Copies of this chain bind each other. A is one copy, B any other.
Amino acid sequence: MNDMHIEHPYLVFLGDAHDQLAAKTADGVAFWRREWCVGQLRLPGCNADTGLPDMTVSEATAKGARSLIVGVVNAGGVLPESWTDTIVEALEAGMDVASGLHMRIADVHAVRETAERLGRRLFDVRHPTRDFATGKGTRRTGKRLLTVGTDCSTGKMYTCLAMEKEMRARGMKADFRATGQTGIFIAGGGVSVDAVVADFISGSVEWLTPDNDPDHWDLIEGQGSLFHASYAGVTLGLIHGSQPDAMVLCHEPTRANMRGLPDAPLPPLDLCIRANVEAAHLTNPDCRMVGVAVNTSALDEGEARDYLGAVETETGLPCVDPVRDGVAGLVDAVS
């Protein structure tokens, strides 16, 4: 991640993904950066489809592709030989390769050797390779919004990206800042903050969101939850390093327990809001929670309206489902 900047256009690699969920990262890239993607490359047996046109490495090269994006989960820890062949072919065709796999493609001999020989770049986006300073908490210029959650996987990335789109449509200066693998492909760079050494969590986020124009918004992708027993340390460092002016709480109302922790209930919204705001005040005493973003996909339209209305009443904050409603209400709250 040495000053990572993944060049687009992208060719999105799906391998032989056994279902659509295995291609979740590729789906995110195709959805949010359709204009950066020339197509998808699927191997025999692939059961996923991003909707991008299918093409070979040479067809993608002819369309200007600069990077192959490995946005898929492989079963087991070993890279299939068919995947390695495609990655090497892409390097030989002139592309860089960026991977979101847990294993490092740079550890695969044929891949590393080819990249070194040809001067191509390999990005293992789950594995930060640059060093960071420890966080300092010094106030920076520009404005920052961080999404936080009652739990993991509650729409924090989606909400940031929707707000980026809405702000840009209004002529505001706004940049999505990625802290996870899918977000990094979508932004073309970022920090996989959960993979940083513990002492440098807040420092890595300070690096990611430096001084900027006074009217510029960094929209920072949150991770985990202050109430998740596995990952709360990451979340707290992210809050302190972001020194957010504003936060949006992301929530999924039908979840029975914290993700991966069957016995852990979700926190009440009011407690979650208070705890996040108190934590944020350490590095930005003016930080406030400006709204709630709810993923109501498991509810029908009537239930969703009732739920969103109830949360507005309970919290006194604008409450939207970014998919059903858009995020104009959240952008209004910081404009």
A194 to B194, CA, bound (A): 13
B232 x A236 contact (CB < 8 A):
yes
A229 within 8 Å of B by Cβ?
yes
Considering the complex, which residues of chain A in the window 245-292 have a beta carbon less than 8 Å from any beta carbon of chain B? Answer: 260-261, 263-264, 275, 278-279, 282-283
Bitwise interface map of A from 187 to 224 toward B, beta carbon under 8 Å scored 1, else 0 = 00000011111110111000000000000000000000
Given A138-B263, A236-B236, A283-B229: A194 in contact with B198 (beta carbons within 8 A) = yes
A307 within 8 Å of B by Cβ?
no
Pick the contact of A137 from B138, B261, B275 — CB < 8 Å?
Answer: B261
Given A137-B261, A197-B196, A197-B197: A203 in contact with B230 (beta carbons within 8 A) = yes
Query: What band does the interface of chain A fall in when counting residues whose beta carbon is under 8 Å from B?
Result: 35 or more
A30 within 8 Å of B by Cβ?
no
A276 to B19, CA, bound (A): 43
Smallest CB separation, A88 vs chain B (Å): 29
A137 x B264 contact (CB < 8 A):
yes
Smallest CB separation, A272 vs chain B (Å): 11
Smallest CB separation, A208 vs chain B (Å): 14
B282 x A237 contact (CB < 8 A):
no
Best-buried of A138, A237, A238, A279 by chain B (most CB within 10 Å): A237
Smallest CB separation, A139 vs chain B (Å): 9
A233 x B230 contact (CB < 8 A):
no
Contacts of A240 in B (CB 8 A): 229, 232-233
A135 within 8 Å of B by Cβ?
yes
Chain A to chain B: the 4 pairs with minimum beta-carbon distance, closest first: A233-B237, A137-B229, A233-B233, A194-B199
